[in-house]
Amino acid sequence: MLGLEKKDFQLLLIVIGLTLFAPFLLNPFPEGSDLAQFNAGYPDLMQRFVIFGIFAIGFNILFGLTGYLSFGHAAFLGAGSYGAVWMFKLLSMNVLPAIAISVVIAGLFSLLIGYVSLRRSGIYFSILTLAFAQMSFALAYSVLTPITGGETGLQLALSDPRIFGAAQTATGNIPVPALFGLEMRSSFEWNVGAWLFTFNAGYYLAAFFMIIAFYISIRIFRSPFGMMLRAIKSNQTRMSYTGLNARPYTLAAFVISGMYAGLAGGLMASMDPLAGAERMQWTASGEVVLMTILGGAGTLIGPVLGAGMIKYFENIFSKINETILHGWFAFLPDGLEDVVVAMIYPFIGKGWHLTLGIMFMLVVIFLPGGLVQGGQKIGALFSRKKAEETKPNATEPAE
């Protein structure tokens, strides 16, 4: 169905189900309980899950299929954000034109950078992409201030023309991004006993684009084009001996990956119409590398899992402080409580990067295939146990 094999179609249905029911799945604990700290079902975080999932899916098309490791993909994320905000300033607050122009700008920008960077491979390619990204960050931060807003970022203003939309609301405020009148910040809250579920318009728009992006990535992975990219990763030298030129394929993968990043940048601006140079920094590029490797480079759903894992740590674990820890371990004797809190606190709050780093090292050492490989091993273990339980008892030879 939809041009997919049965296994791929089932995987797509799983992704659709997870995104549609995310408000329920990410709010497992009642409001007001001690464990409510671990709930992640609020709009801002759910939007980040799917937007960075798109970013990681696109990066995986380049890195996972071709093996080309880019350290500068955040440049396209930032370019998409700037393009979207300029559309809000000049055209209207409708998110569709802003998202479309963000993809186009990121595609053109990635075509330029990819054409130059792909003249080299290996570490030289990685350093070139990093250099271009840092150049882009420097230009956005200082040189191109009239276009990018410099240090303060590009923001909306009441003086913006907005040719096809109102420059300001009836109350004199700046309009907010919307989809044909439906504001991205619009939310519906549903109280079910002690639970509170929030359904946000911006999240479901971003989730829709993530599902489309995921479907396209499946088609790319299973296409002859995807097979060519795998061949490049396997042995590009052998391909060149057969007379095949790998550069058009790697450039196409680079541009597609950049367009995914631009889509993520456009969605970020659609949720919060602000674009800053920090989105182009090398740290943002490194983050998507971690997401892809943590989830499983070269797998379909791995980058989405990796993006969700990192954003969960960033937004949930980083907010746990000593007061919360003391509340959790208040049942312990005072001296023991202080010792336990002192042992745990370096790994949460401001030290959440330490926990993420340890987890990343463990994944690289024991699960090179990322979280997906871990899930496959667990599934194989249960399948083996089930097979052993259903296996008929071996017959004993007659004496």
pLDDT digits (tens, 9 = 90+) for 317-339: 888 888 888 888 888 888 898 89
Q: What is the pLDDT of residue 70?
A: 94
In this structure, are residues 94 and 165 in contact, taking their beta carbons and an 8 Å threshold?
A: yes
| Mean pLDDT, residues 190-213 taken together | 93
| Better pLDDT: 193 or 141 | 141
Q: 306: exposed, middle or buried (C-beta count within 10 Å: 0-12, 13-18, 19+)? A: buried
Helix runs in 67-94, H state only: 74-90
Q: What is the pLDDT of residue 8?
A: 92
399 pLDDT more than 50: no
| Mean pLDDT, residues 74-97 taken together | 94
| Better pLDDT: 99 or 33 | 99
Q: What is the pLDDT of residues 14-71, one digit of tens each?
A: 999 999 999 999 999 888 887 888 888 889 999 999 999 999 999 999 999 999 999 9
Tell me what the pLDDT averaged over the chain comes to.
89
Q: What is the pLDDT of residues 307-318, one digit of tens each?
A: 998 998 888 888
* Domains of the chain by residue range: 43-281
When mean pLDDT is compared across 254-258, 276-280, 333-337, the lowest value belongs to: 333-337
In this structure, are residues 187 and 43 in contact, taking their beta carbons and an 8 Å threshold?
A: yes
| Better pLDDT: 255 or 330 | 255
| Mean pLDDT, residues 354-377 taken together | 86
DSSP state of 159: T
Please give the Cα distance from 43 to 36 (Å, whole number): 15
Q: In percent, how much of the chain has pLDDT > 70?
A: 97
| Better pLDDT: 388 or 376 | 376
Q: What is the pLDDT of residue 45?
A: 92
Q: What is the pLDDT of residue 238?
A: 86
When mean pLDDT is compared across 24-38, 102-116, 251-265, the lowest value belongs to: 24-38
Please give the Cα distance from 58 to 70 (Å, whole number): 12
| Mean pLDDT, residues 106-117 taken together | 96
Q: Spell out the residues 6+ positions from residue 111 whose beta carbon is closer than 8 angstroms to its own.
A: 251, 255, 258
Q: 398 falls in which pLDDT band (50, 70, 90)?
A: very low
Q: What is the pLDDT of residue 391?
A: 66
Please give the Cα distance from 224 to 209 (Å, whole number): 24
Is the pTM higher than 0.85? The answer reads: yes
- Look up tokens 């122009």; give the residue: 101
Paired with 159 in beta bridges are none
Q: What is the pLDDT of residue 366?
A: 87
Q: 349 falls in which pLDDT band (50, 70, 90)?
A: confident
| Mean pLDDT, residues 213-231 taken together | 94
| Better pLDDT: 396 or 175 | 175
| Better pLDDT: 9 or 387 | 9
Q: What is the pLDDT of residue 392?
A: 61
